[in-house]
Structure 1
C-alpha cells in the first residue's frame, strides 16, 4: 500500500546524530521524519565503546565537543533517562617519554578551551590510581569527562523524538532522493513517498553514497571497532581510560562489568556487517590484564563489533551541501562521534532553522575533499539501499 508524508525535514539515518537532530528540530516546531534502513541506534551509535570524552580530540572539534559536554548532564530531562552517564574523568596514559611529551604539547594547545587538563607523573599516578599496572610513565587527566551506555543513549534519543511527534520510520531504507523544486522527493521502504523542504544525510557508513548522489564525493572508508565486556567485578577501574597513541581503552560500569576495546573486527561478505576476531578479543583482554591486574582472572562474557565511517583526516563531515540548497551532511565520525553527537544534532537544527550556527564547523566542510563530482541519479547502498548493491569501497575517492 502506498502512502505519502509531507514534512519539513527528512533525516536519513537513525543513529545518535540523526535522532538528536530530529528531537532538536521538533522542539523548534518543524515536522520531521527520521528514516533508518534497520533500527535506530543499531549501528555505530549503539555498539561503540561509550566514552564521553573531550580530551584527545583535535582542537577544531573542541567548540563542538564543549557544546555537547553541556548536554550530557541533562539527559534525563531531555530524553527521560540518564543513559548511565557517569562523569568519572578520563585518564590518558603515556607509555614513554615521547608519549608524555605529546600529552604536554596537547595540554598547551587546548588552553582556553575549558578542558582543565592535569598532567600526572609516575609517582602521582601510583598514589591516585594504584590499580594501574604495567610500565606507565605518566598521564593526562580530564576530570569533567566520563562514559555512558551507548545502547541506552542512542535508542533513548530516538524514543524521545517519537514521543515529541517525529515520524520515526525504522526498517525503511531510502531508495531514492531527488531535488524537486524548492525541496526534495524521497522514496523509501515499501511504497512510502515523502516530500521535504530539507534533508539531513546522517547515514553513517552509508552516507557517502547520498553525498555522491548530489555531486559531493567524500573519501570515507569503513572501520569495525571491536569491544569486550567482562562479568561483573569488584571495583577495578575508577575512570575512563585511554592510551596515548592508541592500543587500548577501558571503563567499568556501576554494576561492575568492564568494557574494553582497542581491536578491529572483520567485515563479512556483506560489508554492512562484521564479526569480532577471536584473536583480537584475546589480545584485548591480555593487554587489559597487563595494565589492570584486577582483570587478570576476569571472564569475558560477550564481545561485539560495529560498522563506522572514517575519514582520512579523522574529522567528521558536518555542514551544508555545497551543491544542493537544503541538504545537510553529518557523517564520518571515525569512531569518536558518541560524545559530540548531541551537539551535532543541535548544530544541524540551527542550520535548518537559521542557515547558520553559533558553533564553528568550517573545518568539517565536505568541500575540504576537493571539487564536487558529477551528480548521480540514485544514492547507492546502505541506508539508501539501491536495487543494485554497491561494494564497500566503491564510494572512496
Structure 2
C-alpha cells in the first residue's frame, strides 16, 4: 500500500492549488480526480474574479486569494488571461443603492475599497448601460480570467513540483483506521496521514463517510457567449440580486449568465435550458442595449455544489482529526480557488492558518457525531 502525507479528493481549482502549495513544501501529496482536472465547476463558470458582494465570512479568504491571482505567472507559469478589469455592481433603485453603500462601509473593515457611482456619473463613465439604473459600486481590484485554463495550469504546476496527480481516478470509498486514511481507487488502496475533501458537488457525500453531515444541493448556472464584438465594455457587470452578470473578453465576445439550467449529479450530466437562455438574453439587452443584435454562439452549464446559506463548508472536520473540507461554493468559488488551496495547505501541514475562516466552519450545521467519534 503506497503511503502519502496528504491525499486530496477532487481536482478542481481549490484541490489543484492545495496540491501545488503542499508539493512546494516538499511534502508527499496525491490528488484523485475522477475526470479531468478543472472539468467541472472550476472550468465552466463565468470566470469572474470578484470580491465585491461576498458574504463577510468569505471576505478574508477572498482577500487572501486576490493576492495570489497577481502571482499566477510565478505560481503556474501563465496569467491564465487574468485581467483586473474591475467589477461594477449595479443598482436599479434607491433602496439598492443604499444596500451598496452599507456593503461598502462593511467591506472597508476587510481592506476592500469600493467606489459608489451615482446615476449621472454612471452614464457618463459607461454610456453603453441601459437607462433603468440608479447607480453602482465599483471594485477596481476585481477582474476576470479564463476558467478553462486556471485549474489545469495549477494541476500541471503541482505535478512539476512533485505532486502525484491522478486524473480519471474516481474514489470509491475512504475510511479512517484510527491512525491514517485509506482511500480506495479502482483496484488500489492508498493511505495518507491527512485527507482534504474538495469534491465539489459531491463534497457532502465524502464528508458523510466520516460522520460530517451537511445538506448540499446542486446548481447549474446557465451561461452564454456571443460572437466577437468591438471592444466597448469596461468592468465586469453584475446587479443587486444577481439576476444577470456580464463581461467582455479580450477578443470581443460577451459572456453572460442568468438563471439556472438542469443537472444530474449521479449521471454527471448538465445541460442549459432554452427558455432560461432567452430570459438571460433579455436581461442582458436590458442592461446593455447594444447587445440586441449580437449573435449568440454557444450556451453551456456545469454542476456546482450549493449550501443553503450561500457560503461554503471550509475547515477541519468536527469528527475526524486531519480531515479538512472545502466544498459547496454555491457558484462563486472560482475567485477563491487559489487562496483556498493555500489555506488548506496551511491547515493540513501547520494545523492553523492566518486567514480567518471561522464563519465557514461545518460547525454551523452540526454537532460532533457521537457514532463516529473524534480520532
Alignment TM-score, normalising by the size of structure 2: 0.96
Name the CA distance, whole Å, in 2 between partners of 1:271 and 1:94.
Answer: 39
Q: Contact 2:218–2:263 (CA<8 Å) still a contact in 1?
A: no
The answer to whether the aligner puts 1:113 opposite 2:110 as a matched pair is yes
| Residue of structure 2 in register with 1:71 after alignment | 68
Gapped runs of 5+ residues in structure 1?
A: 377-397
Q: CA deviation at 1:140?
A: 0.4
Contact 1:216 1:375 in 2 (8 A): no
Question: How far apart are the structure 1 equivalents of 2:98 and 2:271?
Answer: 36
1:146 aligns with 2:171: no
Q: Which residue of 2 aligns with 1:274?
A: 270
* Superposition deviation, residue 236 in structure 1: 3.1
For the pair 1:176 / 2:173, whether they are aligned, the reply is yes
Cα distance between partner residues in 2 of 1:63 and 1:165: 29
CA gap 1:313/1:268 in 2 versus in 1, 3 angstroms: closer
Match of 1:229 among 219, 225, 243: 225
Work out whether 1:333 is the aligned partner of 2:324: no
1:53-132 map, 5 Å: 53-132=50-129
Is residue 2:291 matched to residue 1:295? yes
Indicate the SS of the match to 2:2.
strand
Equivalent of 1:308 in 304, 308, 315: 304
Q: Residue 222 of structure 2 aligns to a residue in which SS?
A: strand
Distance between the aligned counterparts of 1:8 and 1:347, measured in 2?
Answer: 17
Q: For residue 193 of structure 1, report the CA deviation from its aligned partner.
A: 1.6
Contact 2:7 2:29 survives alignment (8 Å): yes
TM-aligned CA deviation for residue 373 of structure 1: 4.6
CA-CA distance at 1:114 after TM superposition: 2.0
Kept in 1: contact 2:305–2:327 (CA 8 A): yes
SS at match of 2:172: strand
Q: Is the CA contact (8 Å cut-off) linking 2:319 and 2:369 kept in structure 1?
A: no
Q: CA deviation at 1:374?
A: 6.6
Aligned residue pairs total 372
Residue deviations 1:254-278 (CA, integer Å, cap 9, x gap): 0111110012111249453211001
Give distance in 2, aligned partners of 1:34 and 1:302: 32
> What's the offset of the Cα at 1:238?
1.2
Q: Which residue of 1 aligns with 2:155?
A: 158
CA contact (8 A) 1:266 1:276 kept: yes
3-state DSSP class of the match of 2:137? strand
Structure 2: where are the runs of 5+ without partners? none
Structure 2 Cα separation of the partners of residues 57 and 113 of structure 1: 11
**CA deviation vs aligned residue, 1:98-146 (integer Å, no higher than 9, x gap):** 1111101111112232221110001000110111114011000001110
Task: Tell me the residue number matched to 2:184.
Answer: 187
Q: Is the 8 A contact 1:99 1:245 kept in 2?
A: no
Alpha carbons 1:267, 1:275 under 8 Å: kept:
yes
Structure 1 residue aligned with 2:363 = 367
Alignment of 1:21-36 (within 5 A): 21-36=18-33
After alignment, is 230-239 or 7-16 more displaced? 230-239
- Shift in alpha-carbon separation, 1:269–1:147, aligned structure 2, 3 A: closer
User: Over aligned residue pairs, what C-alpha RMSD do you find?
Assistant: 1.4
Cα shift readout 1:64-89 (whole Å, capped 9, x = no counterpart): 11110100011111101111001001
Q: CA deviation at 1:180?
A: 2.2
Inter-partner Cα distance in structure 2 for 1:163 and 1:157: 10
Aligned-pair CA distance for 1:347 = 0.6
SS in 1 for 2:298: strand
Contact 1:236 1:292 in 2 (8 A): no
Q: Distance in 2 between matches of 1:12 and 1:21?
A: 11
Distance across 2 between alignment mates of 1:178 and 1:277: 39
